[in-house]
Amino acid sequence: MATQPRQAQAAGGPTDARAPSGSIFHSVRSAGLRAFGSAQRVAPPPPRQPASQSPNGRAGGPKEPAPLPLGKGAPQAGPAKPPMLSLIAAPFVVFTASCVAYMLFWYYTMLPLGLTAVALVVGLTAGLPPPHRRDAATPGAKLLPAGMCLLGAVAGVVMGVYTYEFYLAPFYAMGFGRNYDNVLASTPGAAYMDAGRLRFADTSSVQTDMTLGYRVGPTYCVAPIMDSGPQQVRKVTFWAIGLDCCASRGSFSCGSGAEDARGGIRAVPDGIFVRSRSEYVQALKQAASIYDLVVDSNPILIHWVSDPAAEQRAKLWGALMQLGFGMLFMGVVSLGAFTLDSVWGFSRGTTPLEGQLPT
């Protein structure tokens, strides 16, 4: 019995007296290991970044290429270009509105001006909507449509005034002026200051032997209209006029159907484009000096025609044809501006060579 402890000590094993302390140490160590393992399970490791999203691009998928500078690689998304409404429809509408306003109401200066201003504002608002004004990065994207609308307004004003003076002013004079029949040429002109159309009595006619052609560039032809009755004196009120339709002396063939005509339509006053009345006045003064006549203080200039109603219709059709020609012209200009902008990119600040891939 005494030899068993010695054999155990010789073998290096623990004795019964040290067994309790060893058990406590192992218990504490096992509890610490379990607590450390549970802490590692509570906080999972951070997710591993995929190889295709690696910042250095060395592992995984292909590296994402950097964007190329403008003009040296693939085309970049440029600023918004003006829509078709800005370069075609809006200028066309502005031109038509301003032209019609001045054709019809040029006599009332402020009315066509106000209508043109309204048309211009509406055209600019419709041609440059708020999203386009906000997204357009280049000045050309805003200035080109605005310039086209301004061009339409100016062209409409010019065409409207021209059409009014050459066509609608005589039309209004014949339509709204008074119509006088059986007029004696010996009557003072103050009695017919509101005349639009006149038909003379059988005793009144154009004195073609007193014709005078006043040449200042074109030939301004005048001939006195005189009565054969005893009331006629040297003072002449009515004068037949025409352009490039007579000789320097003694030959008058002005007007439509002049041989059968018994009257005519009154000439309108001078305007911006029509500046012939002052030349006719100079011509009749010269004729009065040559033929020993006296010009009335209120001379009335007459375009000698056989059918004033047909002449009035011709003036109306001429005005409509001028309007159609102007609309066609503005449409061609607007379409040309839109085509050039689409090809050359004026409003985008680019050229066709920019944005192409290198070869």
Please tell me whether the overall predicted TM-score, pTM, comes out greater than 0.75 for this model: no
Percentage, residues of the chain above pLDDT 70? 66
pLDDT of residue 162: 95
How confident is residue 332, by pLDDT bands cut at 50, 70 and 90?
very high
Among 116, 124, 119, which Cα is nearest to 160's? 116
Residue 78 CB-density burial (10 A; 0-12 exposed, 13-18 middle, 19+ buried): middle
Higher confidence at residue 142 or residue 302? 302
Q: Is the predicted pLDDT of residue 147 greater than 70, yes or no?
A: yes
What are residue 318's phi and psi, to 5 degrees?
-60, -40
Compute the distance between CA of residue 168 and CA of residue 104 in angstroms, rounded to an integer.
Answer: 8
pLDDT in tens, 186-216: 888 888 988 999 999 988 888 988 999 998 8
How confident is residue 39, by pLDDT bands cut at 50, 70 and 90?
very low
pLDDT of residue 4: 45
Q: How far is CA 282 from CA 44, 116, 291, 295, 350, in A?
A: 110, 37, 14, 11, 59
**E runs forming strands in the chain:** 178-183, 195-200, 204-206, 212-215, 219-227, 235-243, 263-266, 294-305
Single-letter amino acid, residue 285? K
Among 90, 176, 160, 81, which Cα is nearest to 126's? 90
pLDDT of residue 109: 80
Compute the distance between CA of residue 191 and CA of residue 296 in angstroms, rounded to an integer.
Answer: 12
Count of other CB atoms within 10 angstroms of residue 229: 12
Residue 85 CB-density burial (10 A; 0-12 exposed, 13-18 middle, 19+ buried): middle
Compute the distance between CA of residue 329 and CA of residue 333 in angstroms, rounded to an integer.
Answer: 6
Structure tokens at 341: 């902008």
Compute the distance between CA of residue 171 and CA of residue 165 in angstroms, rounded to an integer.
Answer: 10
Higher confidence at residue 321 or residue 146? 321
Compute the distance between CA of residue 261 and CA of residue 136 in angstroms, rounded to an integer.
Answer: 65
Compute the distance between CA of residue 338 and CA of residue 115 in angstroms, rounded to an integer.
Answer: 26
pLDDT in tens, 148-176: 889 999 999 999 999 999 999 999 999 89
Provide the β-strand partners of residue 252.
246
Q: Is the predicted pLDDT of residue 220 greater than 80, yes or no?
A: yes
CA angle, 81 then 83 then 84, to 5°: 135
CB-CB contact of 146 with 294 (8 Å): no
Compute the distance between CA of residue 318 and CA of residue 133 in angstroms, rounded to an integer.
Answer: 41
What are the helix (H) ranges across 43-177?
A: 84, 90-105, 110-127, 130-135, 140-163, 169-176
pLDDT of residue 148: 87
pLDDT of residue 99: 95
What are residue 286's phi and psi, to 5 degrees?
-65, -40
pLDDT of residue 150: 92
Q: What is the DSSP string of 159-174?
A: HHHHHIIIIIHHHHHH
Q: Which residues, other chains included, contact 21 with Cβ-Cβ below 8 Å and sequence gap of 6+? A: none
pLDDT of residue 259: 64
CB-CB contact of 140 with 349 (8 Å): yes
Q: What is the mean pLDDT of residues 265-277?
A: 89
CB-CB contact of 194 with 177 (8 Å): yes
pLDDT of residue 137: 46
pLDDT in tens, 286-314: 999 999 999 988 899 999 888 888 889 99
How confident is residue 82, by pLDDT bands cut at 50, 70 and 90?
low
DSSP 124: H
Residue listed under structure tokens 């006195």: 224
